[in-house]
Chain A
Amino acid sequence: MTELEVVDTEVVSKDEKTPRIGRRSPWRRLLRDPQAVITGGIILAFVVLGLLADVIPSYGPNEASLQAYNADVGTEGYPLGADASGRDILSRLLHSINTSMVAGLIGSSVALVIGVTFGLIGGYLGPRVRGTTEWIFALIQTFPGLLLLIILTPITKGDFRATMLIFGVLLAPGIYRIVRNQVLGVKNELYVDAARVSGLTNRRIMSRHILLSVRGPVIIAAAFMFGTAIALQSGLAFLGVGSAGVPSFGAMISEGFTNLYSEPTQFLWPSLALGLLTAALVLLGNSLRDAFQGARPKAAKIAPPKVLREDGTVPSAAAAPAESPGLLVVEDLAIAYPTPSGELRTVVDGVSLRLDAGETLGVVGESGSGKTQTAFAVLGVLPPEAVVTRGSIRLEGRELLGLSEGELRTLRGRSIAYVPQEPMSNLNPTFTIGAQLVEGLRSSGSMSKQEARERVLALLGRVGIPDPERTFRSYPHQISGGMAQRVLIAGAVASRPKVLIADEPTTALDVTVQAEILDLLRDLQAELGMAVLLVTHNFGVVADICGRIAVMKQGEVVESGPTTELFSDPQHPYTRMLLGAILDEETVRTDGPVAAPVPLGTDAR
């Protein structure tokens, strides 16, 4: 799909204002997400209420008054009532917020500092350092957290801050693992190599280049750990671990629990507050993930490829003009994709091609020219969000647009075959080559297993594989790229198709292998009399194998004609430009080495 994205304008002129697509920072994107705004607002409100804990209520959190014993909601001075010890519930609630926030902050920051530091070190430095950190963090993770914290109460003296400090250490493996995995993924990126070549120290590479790229998942994890820390602190307080003097949601719930039948609201308030706070944190974490890692497209937006006709009719075979003699005819084809703003962006605009039986047509163009999209449309494998806005594709007079997936599948098995650009990614690594070819052959016809096997072996021999038996039993990773392409060609021609569509079939191969594959395609074409539609950017390949060429530029065919004519007498300026850009064999560099270096920027030019 990268094909579609960039139309190479090469040098941007100074006055041109390119739209800054996707320039919004994740934080800005977060502000446009209602879920993030609402949950963020709730958390902010909690923080503000916590800060005002000494201002709003009339009593302190631990001020007990006998008169206020189990006071009802709305009692003078006790807006939410008082608990069994006669303490103001509102005051205790607000102070509990502070306890939770401090607990969350301590827990998650300790986890962050330890996890990120060691994650960077373990991921970036050698295997020995990684082995050690790995071992230590695995050990930490084996400690049963809650039990350990209870056992350690004599050391922490029940202070929840000390408890959270320890809990932060116990949370650190989670962050460590995330950072280490991210770093392992990023550290072999070329830009890290480039930074190393630029003379940056390891520390600077880690802090500038690697940390910047891994920050997203870490921020997300931190939001969740904040919630975890709050929940754990409440849990401990509920169990009665920790000093009784510190108001906290857990302690309040525990006290309300004992009074549940007589005074249910005492249980309700802290539960409500704790539930709201942790839910807000989790949901904010989700929004953060969407903002930083990009939300998955909603399933509802994906629909089967649509064929839009101006008159609203579905094209039918009968509508095809009877006089068209070509084997495969593409007429005025236009393909568009929906943009995020809802409009359609046209990537193929009125392409007409004609392929006669037994000929080879080269569709040439640079990236973004729409050549692959055109080929995909003929194969009926456009992505679901693509829209065919107009046009027609006919094979032997039969309209292909609008056919059901089942009909297309039959067609792809028998009449149209496909050879892809990346042979390796088109073979399933878990099955042997023989099994895959036999399955393909049997799905398109009624053939016994034995027959299919013999036919596959014959085909493998025909496409120039030296030891068909051995290749038949091999898995894809055991053969080379050139052999894999031969295997795919064998699979493609197995059903003696009328049309073979090859999308950059030799681009991923070495030149010596490319020459052999092109020879093979030429031989097979002559032998089977099939027509070949070859999509490529390489004029050498076109000159070698194609009888006719269509040159595409930004979704349109700008020029087409017989290969010899097009090379010797190109008409369109774009074709001339492309042909002019080819590095021919005559021009060799003539100027000798310049020995005396001139500092950049000081030369007069």
Chain B
Amino acid sequence: MTAPLLDVKDLRVSFPGRGFRAKPVEVLHGVSLSIAPGEALGVVGESGSGKTTIGRAVLGLVKPSGGSMTFAGRDITAASAKERRALARDIQVVFQDPYTSLNPAMEIGDILSEPLVIQGATPKDARTRVRTLLDQVGLPSDAVHRLPREFSGGQRQRVAIARALAPEPKLIVCDEPVSALDLSTQARVLDLFIDIQRRTGVAFMFISHDLAVVRHVSHRVGVLYRGDMVETGPADKVTSAPDHPYTQKLLLAAPVSDPVAQRQRREERQRRAQEAREQVLPAGVA
């Protein structure tokens, strides 16, 4: 295996507790993962599993309380604000909500060219580049002078993807990038992600609650449960024939879009739930 692009070891994150002298709440209890160059790692978990926090730690938006993060051989666990700004060239983000992740008061052209100008591009180069980017994500070039609110959810998410692509990063953290979108839009945006990865070799950390979405775009998948990585492996293995009981439960709970298959899945799930109850009961009686 090639040297990983991102290597996270035993990452811990705590948030201050609520109230006076409250204990901090640890949301990640030592999570390890690695992403190779050009690879898509899916991170699945339910609400409260800490999946978003991993992404935010990698992006430098929350400070880890333990563990280490290495990016392209450099330790970024406690990167200073200045080092973080330099990292912006290499690590980018696409957030879940395309309605709040774009500044409503800025035109699309400014949103896209700002990071380029910051990195030292001339305004003219930035303009040319913005057109290329818009073309790559399938938006017309006259979008430059429009405001985010003139676009639908799917189109806004394309703008957000273009913004992430602007500095030619090596890694993009995608935090639930399609869960706010309609079904048909979702499929097209996912295809766009795959297409971009094939063309540019950017690596993805793809965070989602939806096994189907993760299966569609990931090479490898990690399953998070209450702040612990319970299972990692190749995407088809983890999302179709998982080993860990929690992943199995997750898979059986996701409804299939086929009435016959779904009936079988439901019965299987109910049978297992029944078994679990029966196992607990005798123990409780004893």
- Looking at B21-29, B83-91, B276-284, the stretch in contact with chain A turns out to be B83-91
| Residues 130-170 (chain B) with a chain A CB within 8 angstroms | 132-133, 136, 138-143, 146-147, 149-150, 152-155, 158, 160, 163, 165-168, 170
Is B260 close to A, CB under 8 A?
yes
**Interfacial chain A residues near B250, Cβ < 8 Å:** 511-512
1/0 contact string of B2-24 vs chain A (CB within 8 Å): 10000000000000000000000
Expressed in whole angstroms, the minimum distance between the Cβ of B272 and any Cβ of chain A is: 11
CA distance A579 to B194 in the complex (A): 21
Expressed in whole angstroms, the minimum distance between the Cβ of A359 and any Cβ of chain B is: 14
B103–A23 contact, CB under 8 A? no
B215–A191 contact, CB under 8 A? no
Expressed in whole angstroms, the minimum distance between the Cβ of A190 and any Cβ of chain B is: 4
B152–A9 contact, CB under 8 A? yes
A196–B260 contact, CB under 8 A? no
1/0 contact string of B57-93 vs chain A (CB within 8 Å): 0011100000000000000000001001111110111
**Interfacial chain A residues near B143, Cβ < 8 Å:** 12
A599–B168 contact, CB under 8 A? yes
The total of interchain contacts (Cβ-Cβ below 8 angstroms) comes to 251
B115–A199 contact, CB under 8 A? yes
Expressed in whole angstroms, the minimum distance between the Cβ of A546 and any Cβ of chain B is: 8
Given contacts A190-B95, A597-B202, whether A584 and B257 have CB atoms under 8 Å apart is yes
Is A581 close to B, CB under 8 A?
yes
1/0 contact string of A11-48 vs chain B (CB within 8 Å): 11110001011110000000000000000000000000
Is B256 close to A, CB under 8 A?
yes
Tier of interface size on chain A: 35 or more
B194–A589 contact, CB under 8 A? yes
Given contacts A190-B95, A204-B118, A578-B183, whether A589 and B217 have CB atoms under 8 Å apart is yes
B186–A581 contact, CB under 8 A? yes
Expressed in whole angstroms, the minimum distance between the Cβ of B155 and any Cβ of chain A is: 7
Is A564 close to B, CB under 8 A?
yes
Given contacts A8-B154, A189-B100, whether A194 and B95 have CB atoms under 8 Å apart is yes
A593–B140 contact, CB under 8 A? no
**Interfacial chain A residues near B122, Cβ < 8 Å:** none
Is B121 close to A, CB under 8 A?
no
CA distance A351 to B85 in the complex (A): 54
Q: Choose from A23, A511, A540 the contact partner of B257 (Cβ within 8 Å).
A: A540
Given contacts A12-B155, A544-B255, whether A510 and B209 have CB atoms under 8 Å apart is yes
Complex: chain B residue closest to A541, CB-CB: B255
A588–B257 contact, CB under 8 A? no
Is A591 close to B, CB under 8 A?
yes
Is B271 close to A, CB under 8 A?
no
| Residues 476-522 (chain A) with a chain B CB within 8 angstroms | 481, 510-512, 514-515, 518-519
Complex: chain A residue closest to B219, CB-CB: A593
CA distance A201 to B80 in the complex (A): 12
A600–B262 contact, CB under 8 A? no
CA distance A195 to B185 in the complex (A): 25
Is A583 close to B, CB under 8 A?
yes
- Looking at A206-214, A294-302, A440-448, the stretch in contact with chain B turns out to be A206-214
Complex: chain A residue closest to B237, CB-CB: A588
A588–B132 contact, CB under 8 A? no
**Interfacial chain B residues near A592, Cβ < 8 Å:** 219
A199–B61 contact, CB under 8 A? no
A563–B259 contact, CB under 8 A? yes
Q: Choose from B100, B129, B217, B257 the contact partner of A567 (Cβ within 8 Å).
A: B257
**Interfacial chain A residues near B106, Cβ < 8 Å:** 209, 212
CA distance A209 to B167 in the complex (A): 19
Complex: chain B residue closest to A17, CB-CB: B142
**Interfacial chain A residues near B201, Cβ < 8 Å:** 593-598
Q: Choose from B85, B93, B163, B170 the contact partner of A597 (Cβ within 8 Å).
A: B170
CA distance A194 to B160 in the complex (A): 9
CA distance A308 to B240 in the complex (A): 54
Complex: chain A residue closest to B187, CB-CB: A581
CA distance A90 to B101 in the complex (A): 57
Given contacts A213-B103, A512-B249, whether A198 and B139 have CB atoms under 8 Å apart is no
| Residues 160-202 (chain A) with a chain B CB within 8 angstroms | 189-191, 193-202
Is A6 close to B, CB under 8 A?
yes
**Interfacial chain B residues near A599, Cβ < 8 Å:** 168, 200
Given contacts A564-B260, A593-B219, whether A10 and B154 have CB atoms under 8 Å apart is yes
Is B203 close to A, CB under 8 A?
yes
Q: Choose from B105, B138, B149 the contact partner of A213 (Cβ within 8 Å).
A: B105
Is A577 close to B, CB under 8 A?
yes
CA distance A605 to B132 in the complex (A): 12
**Interfacial chain B residues near A588, Cβ < 8 Å:** 215, 235-236, 239-240
A567–B105 contact, CB under 8 A? no
**Interfacial chain A residues near B81, Cβ < 8 Å:** 202
CA distance A567 to B255 in the complex (A): 14
**Interfacial chain A residues near B93, Cβ < 8 Å:** 193-194, 197
1/0 contact string of B181-209 vs chain A (CB within 8 Å): 01111111010001001111111000001
B256–A543 contact, CB under 8 A? yes
Given contacts A23-B150, A197-B61, whether A543 and B235 have CB atoms under 8 Å apart is no
A512–B132 contact, CB under 8 A? no
B140–A13 contact, CB under 8 A? yes
A540–B200 contact, CB under 8 A? no
Is B38 close to A, CB under 8 A?
yes
Complex: chain A residue closest to B175, CB-CB: A190
B46–A512 contact, CB under 8 A? yes
Complex: chain B residue closest to A601, CB-CB: B132
Is B31 close to A, CB under 8 A?
no
**Interfacial chain B residues near A194, Cβ < 8 Å:** 93, 95, 101-102, 160, 163
Complex: chain A residue closest to B186, CB-CB: A581
**Interfacial chain A residues near B40, Cβ < 8 Å:** 589, 593
**Interfacial chain A residues near B185, Cβ < 8 Å:** 8, 10, 366
Is A346 close to B, CB under 8 A?
no
CA distance A518 to B153 in the complex (A): 28
CA distance A266 to B18 in the complex (A): 65
Q: Choose from A195, A510, A587, A601 the contact partner of B47 (Cβ within 8 Å).
A: A510
Is A367 close to B, CB under 8 A?
yes
Expressed in whole angstroms, the minimum distance between the Cβ of B50 and any Cβ of chain A is: 14
Q: Choose from B59, B182, B216 the contact partner of A366 (Cβ within 8 Å).
A: B182
Expressed in whole angstroms, the minimum distance between the Cβ of B275 and any Cβ of chain A is: 16
Is B36 close to A, CB under 8 A?
yes
CA distance A512 to B91 in the complex (A): 33
Expressed in whole angstroms, the minimum distance between the Cβ of B181 and any Cβ of chain A is: 8
Ordered by A's residue number, 24 sampled pairs between the chains whose C-beta atoms are within 8 Å are A6-B152, A8-B184, A11-B138, A12-B140, A190-B95, A197-B61, A199-B85, A199-B115, A366-B183, A367-B182, A512-B250, A539-B257, A543-B262, A578-B183, A581-B188, A584-B212, A585-B240, A587-B215, A595-B36, A595-B37, A595-B201, A597-B168, A598-B200, A601-B133
Contacts A194-B93, A583-B212, A600-B133 known; list 17 others, CB within 8 Å.
A6-B153, A14-B141, A21-B150, A190-B96, A190-B100, A193-B101, A197-B61, A518-B255, A543-B257, A543-B261, A543-B262, A564-B260, A578-B184, A583-B187, A587-B216, A588-B240, A603-B199
4 tightest CB-CB pairs across the interface, nearest first?
A: A199-B88, A540-B255, A597-B201, A190-B101
Residues of A within 8 A of B (CB): 6-14, 18, 20-23, 189-191, 193-202, 204, 208-209, 212-213, 366-367, 481, 510-512, 514-515, 518-519, 537-544, 563-564, 567, 577-579, 581-585, 587-589, 591-601, 603, 605
